[in-house]
Structure formats: structure tokens, C-alpha cells
Amino acid sequence: MSSEAEPTRNGSAIVNALTVDVEDYFQVSAFSARIPRADWDRLPCRVEQNIDRVLEMLSAANSRATFFTLGWVAERYPDLVRRIGAAGHEVASHGFEHRRANEQNREAFLADIRLAKAVLEDVTGNEVRGYRAPSFSVGNGNAWAFDCMTEAGYRYSSSIYPIRHDHYGVPNAPRFVHEVRPGLFEVPVATVRMFNANWPAGGGGYFRLFPYAVSRWALRRVNDVDGQPAMFYFHPWEVDPGQPRVDGVSAKARFRHYVNLGRMEGRLRKLLADFRWGRVDQVFLNGAR
């Protein structure tokens, strides 16, 4: 990477990491009690058309990203995963079937992340180096998950969100990339430090709930005040206002999933224009390919 990169509109030449969790609307953890895994094959899939729209947006912005992909998706849509890689993006792992790390024992977790890596590497023909646990489900109670990632051959993880949240998060975890095991780096989603606490700045429902200017301010603050690259994440179902509605979930889960879906695509296009974006391996692993 050039040391004389062009400054951008926010005054920062920092390249941030854009990430996409490749899963369908019926696979999110908040719906897992309502939709058994056995039903997944019977539900209308939207992931392929939604990822293709995301790929078009990234291509229009000439940006690269990392796609944390479920092994389940790669088995059913191998051509989609190949299209992701062929467009210059990094294919990484989101596990095989979206089981939270903290709801599995060590053996089951290791088997899941190994299977996902093998399936993704088989489909793309490239080494898969990154893993993101579903729902950021690694924390103080299951740090053994990092040993499993090392054992499975991963080089980095994005599995801890250093915030306070009812479903995930380790509020006192480091905010920036750090080595958690020899040769294994944890890359947390962006946060802003304010009032003695960490606040989410890197996507999720917050990005849809609050005005775009809030997210832009927060990400600029990470670049300009912390002097660090930020990691942002979103899901293909977030750009799909027409997705089938799932009944019987709590009002809170419903709100979080569906709020402002219609505004997401426009906001993402602004985000792509306002910041520089790249793949996780290129931003955080010293540009190694």
C-alpha cells in the first residue's frame, strides 16, 4: 500500500475494513427459537439476490470487503461464494450453521469451524483465514474458542464486540486489533469511547436506527481521534425490505430486525462514498494476501 495515499473527504487516508455476514434472514440468532434449523431448507432463500446487490454496490464504489460466510450458504450457493472471491473480496468463515460459540461445547465448536473452513476453501480454492462467531458469541466464559480457532488454522477472529449489550459483548475487552493467541489476532468491530464506556460505531441495528450522520461522526472519530482503522459490519438481509416477515418473535427482536430496512441501501452507498474501505486481511494483517 502506498505511504502517500490520497486524503479523502474526512481528511483521513486510513483504509477501514468493511465486513458482511453472509447469512439469510431466517438464520439470525434472534429468530432461532422460532425457526428450527430443520426448516431452513424449506424457506424461500433471499441471500443470493441480496449478496449480488451488495456486490454491485461495492463494485460501483470500487471498494473491497470481507465476507464472513456460513458453510451452509457455501454448500447451497457455491457459485455465489465464487463470485464474491472473483470480485476481489476476501471470503472468510462465519461457521457452518450459525450456532453461537457459547452454546456449544469445545468439540462441537471446533468441528463446526473446521467444517466451515473446509467447505469454503473447497469452493473458492483459497485459504480461509478469518472467522467471526455468530452474534459475537466469544467472551470471558469461552476464551477456549480462540484455542480452537488456532487448532483449525485460522489467523484472525472478529468474535468479540467490546460493548455492553443484552445478547453479546464484553464491555472491557480491547477496542482495537490485538494478538489473542500466538499468530491469532482478534479484530473487534468499531466502538467510540465516551462517558467511561464503549459505544457501538460499526454497524448492526444501530446503523439503521440512528441518523447516518451519527455513524459517520463515530467512524471519523475512530480514524481521526484514535488514529485507528474502523471495522464495520452488516448483513445481506438488511438491504432487503421485501423479505418475508417472521411471526411470533418478541417486539424487541422484531424492531431490531426490521427497523429502517428501506433506508439501509442509501446509507450504505453514503458510507462507501465517505470513507475508504478494504478487506480485513489487507487492513489488519499487514496487507498480507
Instruction: Tell me the pairing of strands 178-181 and 184-186.
Output: antiparallel
- Within 8 A by CB and 6+ apart from 66, the residues are 17, 18, 19, 20, 89, 90, 91, 92, 130, 279, 280, 281
Q: Which is nearer to Zn ion, 238 or 281 (CB)?
A: 238
204 near Zn ion, judged by CB under 5 A: no
In the complex, what is the shortest distance from the CB of residue 138 to Zn ion, in angstroms, rounded to a whole number? 13
In the complex, what is the shortest distance from the CB of residue 21 to Zn ion, in angstroms, rounded to a whole number? 4
In the complex, what is the shortest distance from the CB of residue 23 to Zn ion, in angstroms, rounded to a whole number? 5
134 near Zn ion, judged by CB under 5 A: yes
Q: Which is nearer to Zn ion, 15 or 268 (CB)?
A: 268
238 near Zn ion, judged by CB under 5 A: no
Q: Which is nearer to Zn ion, 15 or 145 (CB)?
A: 145
Stretch that binds Zn ion, among 130-138, 158-166, 190-198, 269-277 (CB under 5 A): 130-138
Q: Which is nearer to Zn ion, 72 or 277 (CB)?
A: 72
Stretch that binds Zn ion, among 17-25, 110-118, 177-185, 217-225 (CB under 5 A): 17-25
- Within 8 A by CB and 6+ apart from 37, the residues are 97
Q: Which is nearer to Zn ion, 50 or 223 (CB)?
A: 50
Instruction: Looking at residues 174 to 193 of the shown chain, list those that interact with Zn ion (rule: CB under 5 A).
Output: none
21 near Zn ion, judged by CB under 5 A: yes
Instruction: Looking at residues 245 to 264 of the shown chain, list those that interact with Zn ion (rule: CB under 5 A).
Output: none
HSE-CB at 40 with a 13 A cutoff on CA atoms is: 18
Stretch that binds Zn ion, among 108-116, 133-141, 190-198, 275-283 (CB under 5 A): 133-141
Q: CA 119, 167, 192 angle in degrees (round to 5)?
A: 95
Stretch that binds Zn ion, among 126-134, 160-168, 174-182, 222-230 (CB under 5 A): 126-134
Give the residues lining the site for Zn ion (CB under 5 A).
Answer: 21, 23, 134
